[in-house]
Amino acid sequence: MNCRLILIISLNLILLSCAQLPMDKSKKNNFNLQDKYINSGFALIYNDKMTKISKLEIRSLDIYHKFLKKGSSVKILNPKNGKYLIANVKSNKIKFSNFYNSVLSLRIAEDLELDIYEPYIQIVLISKNSAFVAKEPKMFDEEKMVAEKAPIDGILINDLNTKKSKKNKKKINIFSYSIKVADFYHKESAEMMINRIKNETSIKKLKVNKLSKTKYRVLIGPFNDIKSLKKSFEKMSTFNFENLEILKNV
């Protein structure tokens, strides 16, 4: 009898322990993907000739975005020179090409010293109260993506022993970009996505880059001109990815 009683008590203790696990709320909501939105790509600089786009005040710090909630605060960074500023999302209902990650005012472009022919920027959502209105992507269950910050150009450190004459050399700006489709935990999932893109589009420049043992990145490219880059990017719109990125090849 004693053995039976001990067994019953032990089983009850185990069940109670298991039942209490879901009650631990200390780890709940520690990470919110909505507060981690980041995207690198080309911006569209607004001007008065854009009659199909609602007016954006030239001297404002406002932007138009496809998904970020109206009123969201964002950090706009120019990776080429490291300059950045804080801007406000004026609307997410303005229609413009999916190739551009935002529409910027002229003031933002001037303050960041953006190249008007290559206005490459990084957008980071910084307001905790803002929300990322995500589209529902057409994905397989196995294709769960891993969010990761897009890389930016590295910082150049001057060698103190270098002759002064070398300081005047300008860095040659080479146009070379790739489209980041997604990061995957398993190589098989990344390869499955490549096969799907090949089957549903005419895109051919596809590859998988192994970043670590548990991170495989699907890339399209490289592209050496903005026309072909834009063409391939727009072909990917049929997949309804919520956060396609354009990464500068360094």
pLDDT: which is higher, 34 or 119: 119
The confidence score (pLDDT) of residue 38 equals 93
The reply to whether 174-248 shares the fold of 33-125 is no
DSSP letter string, the chain? -HHHHHHHHHHHHHHHHHHHGGG--TTTTS--GGGG-EEEEEEEE--TT-TTS----TT--EEE-SSBPTT-EEEEE-TTT--EEEEEEEES-----TTEEEEE-HHHHHHTT--TTS-EEEEEE--TT--B--------TT-PBPP-PPP-PPPP---TTS-GGGGGPPPP----EEEEEEEESSHHHHHHHHHHHHHHS----EEEEEEETTEEEEEEEEESSHHHHHHHHHHGGGGT-S--EEEE--
The CATH number of 174-248 is: 3.30.70.1070
pLDDT at 219 over 70: yes
150 has a pLDDT exceeding 90:
no
What pLDDT score does 32 carry?
42
Q: 147-151, 167-171, 183-187 — which one is most confidently predicted on average?
A: 183-187
pLDDT tens-digit readout, 42-72: 999 999 889 889 999 999 999 999 989 999 9
* Side chain identity, residue 222: P
**What is the residue extent of each domain of the chain?**
33-125, 174-248
Taking the domain 33-125, which CATH number applies? 2.40.40.10
> Across residues 31-47, what is the average pLDDT?
78
